[in-house]
Amino acid sequence: MPSSIIRGKYVVKRVIDKWSSEIVTDGAVFQDNGSIVEVGKYQDIRLKYDRAQVIGDGKQIVLPGLINSHHHVGLTPFQLGNIDLPLEPWIAIRLANRDVDNYLDTMYCALQMIENGITTVMHNHATWRKPSNQSFQESARDVLKAYQDSGMRVAFSFSHRDQNHVVYEDDNRFLSTLPKDLACKLSNRISNSKLSPDAYFTIFSDVSHAFSNDPKINVFLSPGNVQWCSDSLLEQIKLVAKKHNTGIHIHLQETIYQKLYGYKTWGKTPLAHLADIGFLGKELSCAHGVWLTKSDIDMIANSGTMVVHNASSNLRLKSGIAPINRMTDKGVIVAIGIDEAGLNDDKDMLQEMRLVSKIHREPGISSPYPTSHSVLHMATANGSKATFFDDIGVIEAGNRADIILVDLDHITNPYLDPDTNMIDALLYRGRGLDVNTTIVDGNVIMKDRTFTGVDKEQIWRELRKWLSKDLTQEELERKEVSRKLLPFVEEYYKKWDFISDDPLYFFNQG
């Protein structure tokens, strides 16, 4: 890995606070062996390190690589045939999705993220997402091998559940309400995907061990969501995470039904239940948190628990709008995730950041809203905390050189008021397409929008070939099960009293 100088019209070192970022105009970064050595004026850096190769023509904006802190797969559910539905029935129709080779799907996913300036991702992989001829370890290996080949940095979390596999109710009780044939097929599916806690922890330690030599990979534990995990599983996960000094990633209170499940089961929110069993803490990041109450937010803030905001996903699946302003007011660390398919059904992180910066603009002159700087902070420095890579997200000496260069042509032409703050310019007008160069750990993995080490066309060809295969018997059966199951799932949730107490946002209430 050679040393290099990364040059920009603007080098954004860090977000300072809600209203400002530290920016060096006509600046440069010198990195050696993937480690940032110095940041300063280009002229000074050039003189001092006169033999280093220069990346960038001095016309771009240089930023810390963007961090997508909650993500699952490459081909989106829409690409695989599902329109957006509310989360619970959407999970049922997602069953119909055909299998996609984990290596090719992840590679497809990684290349899109790199094109959009994402250098690190929290990839949440499900234990049940594997072809029948593979072990769980092999499916994880394929995902991680793809990230290694792509050059990205990844926090890999292995999602697991041990209850309520179909709806938010005991499996046997729900299955007993279904026609016999459908219940039988679902029951077989659930049995085949079941894993004991010991087997789950063995997978975790095997995968951690296999990739322990790669500093660009962190392996996390991941209970799927509170209603999908027994207390015993959650408690064991907490202990194992502590023992291995690693992070835990969970979905939490994504929909009103998940919150209501908490009231039905424990007389309190799922988050309050997690607090009761001692599950909260600095090692925990919670995806979504759309239905957190004021007291939930206090508990999250006091325990140092993090939240990953998925604005697009929450809109697409009718989950709602997470009360991010209330969380940041209390000092909660909020990161941003695309959750596999943003608003444009792609991996455009700048678009996702723009959505975050607009959707929380509560009405009223003095009402709170996230500034461009705070959203950039969520997508960089806060992402580094959620993914447990503490030496990225800020461009400063000693950190790893995860850096992107964004073209300003589209952003500033034909005219942009010269007094405009560049972070505002980026958040108002920047698109994934403007990302010109992506560098991870000092390695240039995309330059002038061309991949340096991967043949993108070849990956797409292989992916198309894989997907041109006829559906297997198992895939056809899954489609049939999904089609028959959907009306029962929709009917099941109709019985739930839809109450919305303690709303935190008041967009149209007056």
**Shortest Å, Cβ 124 to Zn ion:** 6
Of the pair 162, 339, the CB lying nearest Zn ion is at 339
Q: Which stretch binds Zn ion (CB under 5 A): 276-284, 333-341, 372-380, 425-433?
A: 333-341
Of the pair 142, 339, the CB lying nearest Zn ion is at 339
Question: How far apart are the C-alpha atoms of 238 and 5, rounded to whole Å?
Answer: 43
Find the binding residues for Zn ion in span 196-225 (CB under 5 A).
none
Question: How far apart are the C-alpha atoms of 383 and 389, rounded to whole Å?
Answer: 9
Torsion sign (Cα): 159, 328, 12, 3: negative
Exposed, middle or buried: residue 304 (CB in 10 Å: 0-12, 13-18, 19+)? middle
Question: How far apart are the C-alpha atoms of 254 and 261, rounded to whole Å?
Answer: 12
Find the binding residues for Zn ion in span 49-78 (CB under 5 A).
none
**Shortest Å, Cβ 379 to Zn ion:** 17
**Shortest Å, Cβ 70 to Zn ion:** 6
Of the pair 193, 202, the CB lying nearest Zn ion is at 193
- CA nearest 348: which of 83, 17, 76, 46? 76
Residue 468 half-sphere exposure, CB side, CA atoms within 13 Å? Answer: 6
Tell me the residue number closest to Zn ion, measured at CB: 339
Q: Which stretch binds Zn ion (CB under 5 A): 29-37, 83-91, 338-346, 419-427?
A: 338-346
According to DSSP, the residues that pair with 11 across neighbouring strands are 24, 62
Of the pair 125, 385, the CB lying nearest Zn ion is at 125
Size of the site for Zn ion (CB under 5 A): 1
Element holding 444 (H helix, E strand): strand 443-447
Token pair, residue 428, equals 């108002």
Residue 88 binds Zn ion, judged by CB under 5 A = no
Among 88, 105, 115, 339, which residue sits at the site for Zn ion (rule: CB under 5 A)? 339
Q: Which stretch binds Zn ion (CB under 5 A): 128-136, 336-344, 376-384, 495-503?
A: 336-344
Of the pair 87, 395, the CB lying nearest Zn ion is at 87
Q: Which stretch binds Zn ion (CB under 5 A): 127-135, 337-345, 350-358, 393-401?
A: 337-345
Question: How far apart are the C-alpha atoms of 312 and 337, rounded to whole Å?
Answer: 9
Q: Which stretch binds Zn ion (CB under 5 A): 227-235, 332-340, 361-369, 500-508?
A: 332-340
Of the pair 382, 438, the CB lying nearest Zn ion is at 382
Of the pair 141, 249, the CB lying nearest Zn ion is at 249
Token pair, residue 485, equals 């199951």
Question: How far apart are the C-alpha atoms of 450 and 447, rounded to whole Å?
Answer: 5
Of the pair 218, 399, the CB lying nearest Zn ion is at 218
Question: How far apart are the C-alpha atoms of 294 and 254, rounded to whole Å?
Answer: 16
Residue bearing tokens 């009780």: 173
Whole-angstrom Cα Rg for the chain: 23
Residue bearing tokens 């091998």: 145
**Shortest Å, Cβ 284 to Zn ion:** 15
Where on the chain is the footprint of Zn ion (CB under 5 A)? 339
